[in-house]
Amino acid sequence: MEITKTKSGIKISGVRDLSLPETLCCGQAFRFVPYENGFSGGAWDKKAFIRLDNDCLYIDGGTLADKDFWCDYFDLSLDYAALRKEFAAIHPILSEAVRYAPGIRVLRQNPWEALCSFIISQNNNIARIQGIIERLCLNFGDEKDGFYSFPTAQKLSLLNEEDLAVIRSGFRSRYIIDAARKVAGGEIDLCAVSLMPTDEARAELMKICGVGPKVADCTMLFGMHKLECFPMDVWMKRAMAGPFKGMKPQDFGAYAGIAQQYIFHYSRKNPEIFK
DNA sequence: GCCCAGGTATAAA
DNA sequence: TTTATACATGGG
C-alpha cells in the first residue's frame, strides 16, 4: 500500500478486498450516503467524500496527517482474503455469503457513535436509523464547514427526552439519554470497556438502560473492533436455527464477528435461504 | 392501510 | 428461568 497526497485529499493505492457499497451499506455504519461515483459522509469527527477506483481509495477531505486514521478506519491491515478463505471452509452457506459480498470489511468506528447507533437500531429499520442519526447530528453535532459531527456524550448528557423529540427516535430517546449520562459521567468508560475481556465488557455496556446483548455486541464489534463478538439478532437466530443448526458463535473462530457480518448481509438480501 | 424493522424492558407464568 | 407483550415511528 502506498499513500500519496492529491489535490483534494489523499490516495491510498494497493487496497484489496474492499467494496464501498458493501462495507458502508451492510448495516454497520449509518452516516455514509451514495454520492456521485462514491460515498459522502462522516467517520468519527471527519467529513469525507470517498471513492474507489480499481485498487485506489481516494479520500477527498483527508490529509496526510490522517492517513493512519483512514487505514485504521477501513481496517486495511487485516487480510480479509485469508479470512474469507477460512470462513468458506467452515460452512457451505458461509462460503456462499463471502462470495456474495467479498468486499465487506468491518470498520473501526467511534465507540460512542456505535453505541448510540445500535441503541437506535433496536426494533427499527436501516433506512429510518439513518434518518434518526442524521437528525441527531444536524441538531446536536458540531458544525464545521457544512459538516455536522456525531454529538458527544457530554453534549447529549445535558439534554432531556423532550429535547430529543426533533430526531423522532421514539421510545429510544430515553435510552440515548441514559447512555450519554453514564458515559459522560464516567460511570461507563468506553475506553476501559474496549480493553476488557468480552464477557466483562458486555456486562459493563448492559448497565445502560436499553442496551441488551445485541446492542452490546454490535458496539464491541463495530466500535471497539472486538472481532470475536457475534451479535445475535432475529436474522442470525434464524440462521443459527436453520442452515447453521448445531453451531455456536465461537465455532466461527476468533473473527466470528466478521463471519457474522457476511452472513447477516447475505441473509438480508436472500431471505428465502433462512425461511 | 398494513406489516415490520440489526431488541429490550417489564410483567407474568 | 423462560415466554409474552408494549414500545414510537415511518419505510416499503
What does each of the 275 residues of chain A score in pLDDT, given as a tens digit?
899 999 999 999 999 999 999 999 999 999 999 999 999 999 999 999 999 999 999 999 988 889 999 999 999 999 999 999 999 999 999 999 999 999 999 999 999 999 999 999 999 999 999 999 999 999 999 999 899 999 999 999 999 999 999 999 999 999 999 999 999 999 999 999 999 999 999 999 999 999 999 999 999 999 999 999 999 999 999 999 999 999 999 999 999 999 999 999 999 999 988 87
With beta carbons less than 8 A apart as the criterion, state whether A182 and A208 touch. yes
pLDDT of residue A43: 96
pLDDT of residue A274: 82
pLDDT of residue A11: 97
Grid coordinates in use for A110?
467511534
With beta carbons less than 8 A apart as the criterion, state whether A37 and A51 touch. yes
- Dihedral of the alpha carbons of A52, A53, A59, A64, in degrees to the nearest 10: 130
Distance in Å, residue A273 CA to nucleotide B2 C1'? 25
The pTM assigned to this predicted structure is 0.97
A236 touches strand B (CB under 7 A): yes
Q: Categorise residue A122: left if φ over 0, alpha if ψ from -120 to 50, beta otherwise.
A: beta
pLDDT of residue A138: 98
Alpha helices in A59-102 (DSSP H): 67-73, 80-90, 92-100
Alpha helices in chain A (DSSP H): 20-24, 67-73, 80-90, 92-100, 111-120, 126-140, 153-157, 173-184, 190-195, 198-205, 213-223, 234-241, 256-269
Q: Is the dihedral of CA A61, A65, A71, A74 positive or negative?
A: negative
A215 touches strand B (CB under 7 A): yes
pLDDT of residue A215: 98
With beta carbons less than 8 A apart as the criterion, state whether A112 and A140 touch. no
pLDDT of residue A273: 87
Q: Which nucleotides of B are covered by protein (CB under 7 A)?
A: 4-10
Report the alpha-carbon distance of residue A225 to residue A28 in Å, rounded: 12
A214 touches strand B (CB under 7 A): yes
Q: Which of residues 157-176 of A touch strand C (CB under 7 A)?
A: 165, 168-171
pLDDT of residue A243: 93
pLDDT of residue A180: 98
- How many CA atoms does the CB half-sphere of A268 hold within 13 Å? 14
pLDDT of residue A145: 87
